[in-house]
Amino acid sequence: MILGLVFELQGQSAIFLHHSTGEGVYVEGNVASWINNYNSSNGTNYTVTERSYPDSPYPWENYPYDYWNLWVNGQCNTTNSNIQCLSNILQSYDVVIFKHCFPGAGLVPDNGTPAVSSPVKSIANYKLQYRALRGLMDQYPTKKFIIWTLAPLHRLETTTEEAARAREFVNWVKSTWLTEDGKSHPNIYIFDFYNLVAESNPTPVNGKVNCLKYDYEKSHTVIDSHPNLNANQAVGPIFAQFIVNTFKSQPTGIKDTFDHAGEVIICPNPGHDQLTIDISRTGENKMSVEMFSINGQMVYSTPMSEETMLNINTNGLTRGTYILRITTGQRTFSRKYAYAGS
């Protein structure tokens, strides 16, 4: 217990390897400031830094093939940070976070002959590459890894079939990848970015199922699959909390949050003077609530109480977007709340 306390006080560090989609979430989502505010409120010393990876002299591509090619196939470099080997990165960080940019969701049909060494974006090839990466991460049991699920494409940049393949691969990563071999992989965490920003409604009023949500498109007429400011500001605090939970080796709650999105009711949203939270559909009978500003500052909290409905007086909040973290008896949910002013 004492050793664990000393380790937390000394702090832990993470590196976020990304390209443009990740940069948007990190910068516009205020991830660094959220974690700094968390440290100030909780007496911790967690640090997260970020880096474009891979970069020159490697092509600007960060898909499953590329991480396999660099880290497993040995095309990395021990000294060049743009193409650094995983073993070298882990010398400086406790947690490595990596993701794929949105072209990674442009999955073609399988051709029947999958190959781990193929750069072709297909589900079968991706699975082989993920299995090889899983084996590599298993070699570092004292380190932790956060892998983002795919970034969905803009509805004008993909087809119905292609978008469905992206969701199929995401579902495999979430439900099968870490269990199919019958082994435990407790140091690998999955941040489900896809289900945060992808449309799940088969018949939405606007937008298209399995594509970037209509409200998160930068343009409704111009093809650009980068999520917009609203998306990044919504995801940023959730991502930051996920990183903190990983530091602390706690369950993240992200799967429950979005696979059961209709179970927790937040109303009115946007709201004015009062917010009601109803968890009766979850089957739980107690909850605690924390509310964070978009910069990660806690503005409200209540201890666990035995009730399924909670009314919160929001009069006095600054107009803007907040993140609600709702903990029930067994699960944790994160929700975005828009305060429109009194």
pLDDT in tens, 262-291: 578 888 888 888 888 888 877 788 888 888
Mean pLDDT to the nearest integer, 184-208: 93
At residue 334, the pLDDT reads 77
- Give percent of the chain above pLDDT 90: 65
**Position 10 pLDDT exceeds 70:** no
Mean pLDDT to the nearest integer, 33-48: 91
Between 20-24, 66-70, 97-101, 334-338, the lowest mean confidence (pLDDT) is in: 334-338
Q: Are 289 and 266 in contact (CB under 8 A)?
A: no
Residue range of the domain that includes 233: 2-255
**Position 292 pLDDT exceeds 90:** no
Mean pLDDT to the nearest integer, 299-322: 85
At residue 255, the pLDDT reads 40
CATH number at residue 321: 2.60.40.3080
- Tell me, yes or no, whether 274 and 299 share the same domain: yes
**Position 8 pLDDT exceeds 50:** no
- Tell me, yes or no, whether 218 and 275 share the same domain: no
Dig out the tokens for 96 from the structure. Answer: 């490595």
Condensed to tens digits (0 to 9), the pLDDT of residues 145-172 reads 999 999 999 999 999 999 999 999 999 9
At residue 4, the pLDDT reads 37
**Position 120 pLDDT exceeds 60:** yes
CATH number at residue 230: 3.40.50.1110
Q: Is residue 260 part of a domain?
A: no
Counted domains in the chain: 2
- Give percent of the chain above pLDDT 70: 92
**pTM summary value:** 0.75
Beta carbons within 8 Å of 320's beta carbon, 6+ residues apart: 293, 294, 338, 339
Q: Of 213, 233, 255, which residue sits at a domain end? A: 255
At residue 1, the pLDDT reads 32
- Tell me, yes or no, whether 310 and 215 share the same domain: no
- Tell me, yes or no, whether 195 and 75 share the same domain: yes
Q: Of 235, 255, 275, which residue sits at a domain end? A: 255
Dig out the tokens for 304 from the structure. Answer: 């666990």
At residue 253, the pLDDT reads 44
Q: How confident is the model at residue 294 (pLDDT cuts 50, 70, 90)?
A: low
Between 13-27, 228-242, 328-342, the lowest mean confidence (pLDDT) is in: 328-342
- Tell me, yes or no, whether 33 and 146 share the same domain: yes
- Tell me, yes or no, whether 150 and 196 share the same domain: yes
CA quadruple 297, 300, 327, 259: dihedral sign: negative
At residue 297, the pLDDT reads 74
Q: Is residue 56 part of a domain?
A: yes
SS3 100: coil
For residues 8 and 301, give the distance between their C-alpha atoms in angstroms, rounded to a whole number: 23
- Tell me, yes or no, whether 62 and 193 share the same domain: yes
Nearest to 223 by CA among 273, 176, 158: 158
Q: Of 198, 223, 255, which residue sits at a domain end? A: 255
Residue bearing tokens 């795919």:
150
Q: Is residue 298 part of a domain?
A: yes
- Tell me, yes or no, whether 61 and 125 share the same domain: yes
Mean pLDDT to the nearest integer, 99-106: 97
- Tell me, yes or no, whether 323 and 208 share the same domain: no
Condensed to tens digits (0 to 9), the pLDDT of residues 235-265 reads 999 999 899 989 988 654 444 344 445 578 8
At residue 257, the pLDDT reads 41
At residue 168, the pLDDT reads 97
Residue bearing tokens 């909670």:
310
Q: Are 82 and 55 in contact (CB under 8 A)?
A: yes
- Tell me, yes or no, whether 64 and 25 share the same domain: yes
Q: How confident is the model at residue 326 (pLDDT cuts 50, 70, 90)?
A: confident
Q: Is residue 182 part of a domain?
A: yes
Q: Is residue 80 part of a domain?
A: yes
- Tell me, yes or no, whether 70 and 146 share the same domain: yes
- Tell me, yes or no, whether 213 and 283 share the same domain: no
Beta strand 144-148 pairing with 95-98: parallel
